[in-house]
Amino acid sequence: MSATATNPVEPFLRMDRIPHIWCPGCGIGTTVNCFTRALMDSKVDLKSLALVSGIGCTGRVAGYVKLDSFHTTHGRAIPFATGLKLANPNLNVIVYSGDGDLSAIGGNHLIHAARRNIDLKVICVNNLTYAMTGGQSAPTTPEHAITATSPYGAFEPSFNLPHLVEAAGAVYVARWTTFHVRQLARSMAEIFKKKGFCFIEVLSPCPTLYQRRNKMGDGLDTMKFYKEKSKVKNGAPTSEVGLTINGEIIVGKFVERDRPDYGSLMKAQFVEALGDRYVDCTETICS
């Protein structure tokens, strides 16, 4: 390798902010690598791409990508992204955040955005815990898992996120793990071009907190675990893809369907009700 060789992902990252804050063995960086691959492969227009994160370890993704990027408040990446998209419908808006941010504190926004079918692409990195705050239990923590706030084992039933967002109306639902880097990058490239509310769940290790407390080894051990336990079932009924602490991990593209997105529905309704009196906001709001 020559001294001037650069990593092909560098043009997509804020290299002046590297090294990042993520722990050794954490999977978030792997997902970002897949994201940059997807940007390269899909040749999506970077100028019109905006990325919105909430708070948490995954929330820091917004700070590392070389895009218009917004690190918002805890749980509110989706409503912020909603405003961004509606004000400038020409933007391709990615929401990149964690399981706690999107499904606990932000759970209400998640289901309503899916219901509206707002044209947002949600990448949910699921490490099964609140990692930034020290590994507390999350709505995604599997039963019996040990966390900082479930020291005797979690007993709350956990969310099956693909099932939740499909029921709420998402038009694209997939799940991969950080072992499935090619499949994940391909899914990401697909949602960049898919109109409507898209959701990819990425299972990702937190060796520092979740894996350690549950004696699941380090990052590499978790890759082996993902490899061994994962089963690709494209089109699997999402009601059957719930996760357990040690059981099978069903991955794949579960849902891909079409229904009119929020912007199209809004325009159609106003044209029908107002006729010539309707002024298309895409031409005026940003002027």
- Give CA separation, 258 vs 90, 115, 119, in Å: 20, 13, 12
Binding residue (CB under 8 A) for another protein from 90, 234, 239, 246: 90
- Which residue, 68 or 256, is less far from another protein as judged by CB? 68
Using CB under 8 A as the binding rule, the residues of this chain from 46 to 85 that contact another protein are 46-48, 50, 52, 62-63, 66-73, 75-76, 79-85
Binding residue (CB under 8 A) for another protein from 20, 112, 213, 233: 112
Alpha-carbon distance of 211 to 209, in angstroms, equals 6
- Which residue, 47 or 257, is less far from another protein as judged by CB? 47
Binding residue (CB under 8 A) for another protein from 7, 108, 244, 246: 108
The span of 106-114, 178-186, 228-236, 244-252 binding another protein (CB under 8 A) equals 106-114
- Which residue, 110 or 251, is less far from another protein as judged by CB? 110
DSSP-assigned letters across all residues of 80-121: HHHHHHHH-TTSEEEEEEEHHIIIIITHHHHHHHHHHT-SEE
Is 139 within 8 Å of 169 (Cβ atoms)?
no
What type of residue is 65?
V
Alpha-carbon distance of 102 to 77, in angstroms, equals 8
What x-and-dash track marks residues 29-48 binding another protein by CB under 8 A?
-----------------xxx
| Closest separation in Å from C-beta 111 to another protein | 8
Q: Which of 152, 92, 150 is nearest to 120 (CA)?
A: 92
DSSP-assigned letters across all residues of 167-194: HHT-SEEEEEETT-HHHHHHHHHHHHT-
Residue 91 binds to another protein (criterion: CB under 8 A): yes
Nearest 5°: the CA angle 138, 154, 252 is 60
The span of 31-39, 125-133, 150-158, 266-274 binding another protein (CB under 8 A) equals 266-274
Residue 109 binds to another protein (criterion: CB under 8 A): yes
| 147 bridge partner residues | 150
Q: Judging by DSSP bridges, how do beta strands 249-256 and 172-177 pair with one another? A: antiparallel
Residue 10 binds to another protein (criterion: CB under 8 A): no
Q: What's phi and psi for 69, nearest 5 deg?
A: -140, 140
Taking the CA atoms of the chain, what radius of gyration do you get in angstroms? 19
- Which residue, 149 or 282, is less far from another protein as judged by CB? 282
What x-and-dash track marks residues 235-254 binding another protein by CB under 8 A?
--------------------
- Which residue, 148 or 266, is less far from another protein as judged by CB? 266
Binding footprint of another protein, residue count (CB under 8 A): 47
Assign 150 to helix, strand or coil.
Answer: strand
- Which residue, 92 or 141, is less far from another protein as judged by CB? 92
Residue 279 binds to another protein (criterion: CB under 8 A): yes
Tokens of 145: 């898992």
Binding residue (CB under 8 A) for another protein from 15, 232, 265, 274: 274
Site residues, another protein (CB under 8 A)? 14, 16-17, 46-48, 50, 52, 62-63, 66-73, 75-76, 79-88, 90-91, 108-109, 112, 266, 270, 274, 277-281, 283-286
